Amino acid sequence: MQRRTLGTGGLTVSALGLGCMGMSQSYGPPGDRVAMIALLRDAVERGVTFFDTAEVYGPFVNEELVGEALQPMRREVVIATKFGFRIVDGKTAGLDSRPAHIREVVDASLRRLRTDVIDLLYQHRVDPQVPIEDVAGTVGDLVRAGKVRYFGLSEASVQTIRRAHAVHPVAALQSEYSLWWREPEAEVLPTLEVLGIGFVPFSPLGRGFLTGAIDEKTTFAADDFRNLVPRFTAEARKANRVLVDRLAALAARRRVTPAQLALAWLLARKPYVVPIPGTTKPARLAENLGAAALSLGAADLEEIETAAGLEIQGERYPESMNRMVDRS
């Protein structure tokens, strides 16, 4: 697989990474551990070198899973994890990016990931109670101590990105970005380009919606996060299906799948964009990675833009999660 560089410090990763959250939470029952370990190792065999996890996924169990799966090939891969939440009795209890807490989280993550260094450490959500300069300075100390290689932010505003980057170089910003959530194009992407920061889109397939496998009749498991998302009400899914149908028609003409076309579109946006689609299925993994070989020309991109030219119905997050997105 082709490689891409995040930031200006030499962090090189596969053009497509693997988001690991869904193996442990949010999209129904967790995947079978043995099967998920096999899937992670299969991804490495297929050329993936970039794996995304977080302490809060589970909590904790996703880091443990990734650590066990990738330990035999640790030096071949880049592991990203995140801090920023307070976790009490196995549940999130608000944000916490105090410097002392960051250091505690990093030590615990290192143990769970079975490694001596975290390749990319993100602040998971911006904590309005802690100046971002203190956060960046603390991660900088951890970099100098050899516990972390690179610093990242997630769902951060342009102002926050600039303030953090002035204290310690930000290698990557992780935020949602796809054909049905394009807000980063307005201010974030231009800022990243100026500062030389990479961009890692999560949910690049619209939490599965852009694959074409979901419509208004789809039912989700009781513990599936999408039951709480306004964009996934039956009414919104019916309205938003227009985008998927248009994408599917374009994909069929190119003999690819809608998911592959959606991922290839992201890869064509900028050379520093590295999507991290997640899956628990080997067939989906192979399908998603096939997007890296799909080259889109100007005419292809224009057709996709035309197809995507409609208003998507529903908020992308429930209100409780919307409040955690940095708007400073």
Q: pLDDT digits over 50-108, tens only?
A: 999 999 999 999 999 999 999 999 999 999 999 999 999 999 999 999 999 999 999 99
Instruction: Check residue 91 and give its pLDDT.
Output: 94
- Report the largest interatomic distance among the alpha carbons of the chain, rounded to a whole angstrom: 54
CATH architecture of the domain 3-322 equals Alpha-Beta Barrel (3.20)
Structure tokens at 16: 């497509």
Confidence category of residue 227, pLDDT binned at 50, 70, 90: very high
The pLDDT score that the predictor gives to residue 268 is 98
Active site residues: 57
Predicted local distance difference test score (pLDDT) of residue 281? 97
R_g of the chain, CA atoms, integer Å: 19
Sign of CA dihedral 318, 178, 257, 39: negative
**What is the pLDDT at residue 54?**
98
Say which residue the tokens 């399908």 belong to. 287
CA gap 235, 146 in Å, rounded: 50
State the pLDDT at residue 193: 98
Q: Among residues of the chain, what percentage have pLDDT more than 90?
A: 99
Q: Report helix, strand or coil for 33.
A: helix
